[in-house]
Amino acid sequence: MCDDIRRSFGRAVFGDEVMKERLPEAVYTAIKKTMDGGRRLDPSVASEVARAMKEWALELGATHFTHWFQPLSGVTAEKHDAFLSPAPDGTPITEFSGKELFRGEPDASSFPSGGLRATFEARGYTAWDPTSYAFVKDRVLCIPTAFCSYGGEALDKKTPLLRSMEVINKQAIRVLRALGDETTAKVNVTVGAEQEFFLIRKEDFDKRRDLIYTGRTLFGAPAPKDQQLDDHYFGAFKPAVSAFMDDLNAELWALGIYAKTEHNEVAPAQHEIAPVFCRANIACDQNQLMMEIMKKVAARHGMVCLLHEKPFEGVNGSGKHNNWSLSTDTGKNLLDPGDTPQENVQFLVFLSAVVCAVDEYQDLLRASVASAGNDHRLGKSEAPPAIVSVFLGDELTGLLRAVVDGERYTPRAADVLGTGVHVLPKIPKDNTDRNRTSPFAFTGNKFEFRMVGSSDSIAGANIALNAAVADELCSIADELEGKDCSFETVSEVLRERLGKHFRIIFNGDGYGEEWIEEAGKRGLLNLPTTADAVVRMLDSKNIELFRRTGVYSEAEAESRCEIMLDNYAKKVAIEANTMVDMINHDILPSAVKYSKVLSDGAAAKKAISPRLSICMEEKLLDRLADLTDELYECSNILEESTAALRRTENAIEAAELCRDRVLSDMHRARVAADGIEKIVGREFWCYPTYGDLMHDVR
């Protein structure tokens, strides 16, 4: 079995081994210098690469090729072109040129641009990203590409991500040179994205229009049992889930994705899968692929994979923990504290840079993960708060405090885990515990950015984080260059900036009300909704950051803000319209049918017992009548709210209308509908319940 896995791993990827085998040595060397060293690829090698790619893809059964890109719609895009072409004599031949590899021309007018492009301006370009491997999927050769407009503006998520990786490499190298490192030639941003999701039966999914249209349940009374006992977390997979995981792993491994860890999450029907770290742009590509494949594999198993951040009210939502670090081309992790972090000057500099950057640009990091779905998750008792803070643990917090106070830090003695059982091995404790309530937690040799939503691309979060850290590294490099970088000198450079930003460090419980009050006292931002957060992208300090780092032009930043707010308002409007549809066509008719049953039951009882003043059926009927009247009124109010939303053309005003009116109207309707569900008999209810949805997969 192990040999089979090794042989099949990466078989659908035009990876390093395939390139080394099929490309001329000079071409392979050029590609490697681009991938590993960041050198621009000479277009003269394109024809050889295209030839080898085509032959390899044809052997795997591919019939078409596509430039696979990530527009601002939130999903991937691809336009397929056949390898097949007519020869001059009319006979069929297979063709794929270097020009076709390097560049494509999709229609740019039909993708979101946030005002960067007029409707009539249709031309756009896709450009091959040679640092990310091509792959074959569904008999199509997929070439990862960037997507830009005729004027060069980035219309995708990959282009600014690549820009941010380049700038952080540049500034990290400056810092390393100042610290005496003359060996490192490249610093890579490495990312591992843990993916949470739900699996439900397709038969149940098909009976709920809210899931079909919005990806989440807009109505649903709590099930008698959900996650109260915590018995699902890390439990054994049910057979259907185990079969799904087997097939999912096989497909991911074939695409070179090191799917490593999988387990049941806290909520019933909720699961997680996590890959091994890789370069940020490849990690982003692979996570997009993972989400697509999860849905396809689930469908083959008679299930639906739900990636919404909050598919079920009252149980854990789903996130995507973005594990972020920096590593050199020599194999060194720059966030590894080593055995003596109090003496590790390099670690101290990079740790401080991240902490200061997160505080300085906390609003930008919050905005980078904002969405209609994630608003239902952040700030609840299953996810990080919407207030950005950094968890370091007592040891590293003490180290940075000593720097601020101008003291030498004395570490605590190395400790081992005491279990009280002699036969168990002695386990050395890490220098930090883990804090699941922290939005941005140091976890040994990396930071875990836990605010990213499960359905989102990880590109936005990493673009913001890379830009912020790169800017801080630039500032530190400016001070360090030309100095004797002893521990004392470095500490002096870091002292003032750490003192200014120390407020962002919080090692306590992020779920408590006390933290919200404390964060306010510290001057930290609380941006609970997308409408509050996204507009902060356009604050002057953030626009200036984008300008300095070259990650976004001002127009590109404005376009992202416009698209995110517009998407937020559209999703809320779709949910509200779906609610009205379900109320009028499903819930109220169910309530009316059951009212007839109750009315007939009450009449039958009184016929038998004429002196009976009021019976159970009449009491239920009264409660049901009040709730149906309330729900009918809510439906009318929702229709008015969505009509007002349609009349609002300004993206900011539309988002604020959703936040201040539409969502509260939706909540009122849900309370009434869920109350009705608790009364109406099961055989009369109009769709699968929460109990059905979360417990039917076996």
Domain ranges of the chain: 2-156, 164-219+231-552, 568-695
Residues 477-527: tens digit of each pLDDT: 999 999 988 889 999 999 999 999 999 999 999 988 899 999 999 999 999
Q: Environment class of residue 391 by beta-carbon count within 10 Å: exposed (0-12), middle (13-18) or buried (19+)?
A: buried
**Backbone angles phi and psi of 691, in degrees to 5:** -60, -45
Give the per-residue pLDDT at 392: 96
In the chain, the amino acid numbered 114 is G
Q: Which fold has domain 568-695?
A: Four Helix Bundle (Hemerythrin (Met), subunit A) (1.20.120)
Count of C-beta atoms within a 10 Å radius of residue 90: 6
Which distant-in-sequence residues (6+ apart) come within 8 Å of 28 by Cβ?
19, 20
Which distant-in-sequence residues (6+ apart) come within 8 Å of 12 by Cβ?
60, 135, 136, 137, 254, 255, 256
Q: Environment class of residue 40 by beta-carbon count within 10 Å: exposed (0-12), middle (13-18) or buried (19+)?
A: exposed
Helix, coil or strand: residue 110? coil
Give the per-residue pLDDT at 421: 65
User: Which residues of the chain fall short of a pLDDT of 70?
Assistant: 1-3, 119-121, 381, 412-434
CB 224 within 8 A of CB 691: yes
CATH 3.30.590.10 fits 164-219+231-552, yes or no: yes
Report in angstroms the alpha-carbon separations of 329 from 122, 280, 333, 352, 476: 41, 14, 10, 22, 22
Give the per-residue pLDDT at 361: 98
Angstrom distance (rounded) from CA 314 to CA 12: 41
Token readout for 155 is 């219309």
| Gyration radius of the chain over CA positions | 28
Give the per-residue pLDDT at 198: 98
Angstrom distance (rounded) from CA 361 to CA 470: 12
Kindly report the CA angle at 136 between 131 and 140, in degrees rounded to 5? 115
Angstrom distance (rounded) from CA 392 to CA 507: 7
Angstrom distance (rounded) from CA 434 to CA 654: 39
Angstrom distance (rounded) from CA 345 to CA 330: 18
Task: State whether the Cα torsion 414-418-424-427 is positive or negative.
Answer: negative
Residues 345-394: tens digit of each pLDDT: 999 999 999 999 999 999 999 999 999 999 999 988 678 889 999 999 99
Give the per-residue pLDDT at 627: 98
CATH number corresponding to 2-156: 3.10.20.70
Look up the pTM and report it: 0.95
Nearest to 376 by CA among 279, 309, 452, 446: 309
Give the per-residue pLDDT at 91: 77
The two beta strands, 447-449 and 320-328, are antiparallel
Angstrom distance (rounded) from CA 688 to CA 488: 65
CB 215 within 8 A of CB 311: yes
Residue entry with tokens 């900036």: 497
Question: Are the folds of 2-156 and 164-219+231-552 the same?
Answer: no
CB 339 within 8 A of CB 182: no
